[in-house]
Structure 1
Amino acid sequence: MHLSGVHHIAIICSNYERSKKFYTEILGLKIIREVYRKERTSYKLDLALNGNYILELFSFPDPPKRISRPEAAGMRHLAFATPNLDSCIAELTKHQIKSEPIRVDEHTGRRFTFIADPDDLPIEFYEV
């Protein structure tokens, strides 16, 4: 098997407009394509970071809740690399998004923090 990279990550949101705003206006991901799938009563939003397709945002009527804390079984979190964690936190704070206290990776010495997206999914910002 030869894998060449991660193609995308898919997220189902409970409030499409709120999540669309969060991922595009606050995190700055760019819209590649947005389609409404009438037969599913569902939106599908393809998003890019630095020109690379990375995220699919879906809406479905009344999706069930999922345990999502970083230590729960399943996907742990979505992590974004940032060259400056302090400016990233300052930008989040401007949008009234609270981050956890900064931690330091004991193996790399790099700083990181977590926030929650509009559906309480954990998102990490890792300073590189």
Structure 2
Amino acid sequence: MSVTFNHTIIAAKDRNESARFFRELLELPEAPSWGPFTNVQLDGGVLLQFAEPPVEIQMQHYAFLLDDDLFDRAYRRLCEAGVEHWADPQMTRPGETNTEHGGRGVYFKDPAGHAIELITRPYL
């Protein structure tokens, strides 16, 4: 059997708010949820499972590869919502996108404070 990525659990202050944020930003359909998880499904059946842990949330980094059209729509939604964003992970270029690696990219924080990256070209 080949190895594929199946799911990850993402800590959230409000699991429903975080799942809704990603569904709306990335134009994703609702997915069945169960137990302590509110799920969002990506292509290939990959699940993002949002949960509210009983501990302080530590920031994580998640990067999403988008096509150019979806990137444009998602970036427009970020700007319209007033989400602070940067062209770089060091947060020294506010309000910009980058053109690294032959594509475009942007960094911002999700509702739980995780560092999110949207890119249009893979690094490798």
Task: State the TM-score, normalized to the length of structure 1.
Answer: 0.70
Residue 81 of structure 1 and its aligned partner are, at CA, apart by 1.4
Identity over aligned pairs, percent: 20
| Equivalent residue, structure 2, for 1:71 | none
Contact 2:11 2:57 in 1 (8 A): no
Give the letter for the 1:28 counterpart.
E
The answer to whether residue 99 in structure 2 is matched with residue 104 in structure 1 is: yes
The answer to whether residue 19 in structure 2 is matched with residue 26 in structure 1 is: no
| Change in CA separation of 1:16 and 1:88 when aligned onto 2, cut-off 3 Å | closer
- 2:81 counterpart (95, 102, 105): 95
The answer to whether residue 85 in structure 2 is matched with residue 86 in structure 1 is: no
- Which residues of structure 2 form unaligned runs of 5+? 87-95
Distance 1:80 1:54 in 2: 13
| Residues 1-128 of structure 1 aligned to structure 2 (within 5 Å) | 3-36=2-35, 43-50=36-43, 52-61=45-54, 63-66=55-58, 68=59, 77-84=61-68, 85-100=71-86, 101-105=96-100, 108-128=101-121
Superposed CA deviations along residues 15-62 of structure 1, whole A, max 9, x for unmatched, are 2232132122333333322123xxxxxx2122212462231111234x
Distance 2:24 2:83 in 1: 13
- Which residues of structure 1 form unaligned runs of 5+? 37-42, 69-74
Alignment length (residue pairs): 110
Secondary structure of the 1:20 match is helix
Q: What is the RMSD of the two structures over their aligned residues, measured on CA atoms?
A: 2.2
Task: State the TM-score, normalized to the length of structure 2.
Answer: 0.72
| Change in CA separation of 1:6 and 1:15 when aligned onto 2, cut-off 3 Å | same
Contact 1:26 1:95 in 2 (8 A): no
Which structure features the higher share of helix residues?
2
Contact 1:14 1:59 in 2 (8 A): yes
Which structure features the higher share of strand residues?
1
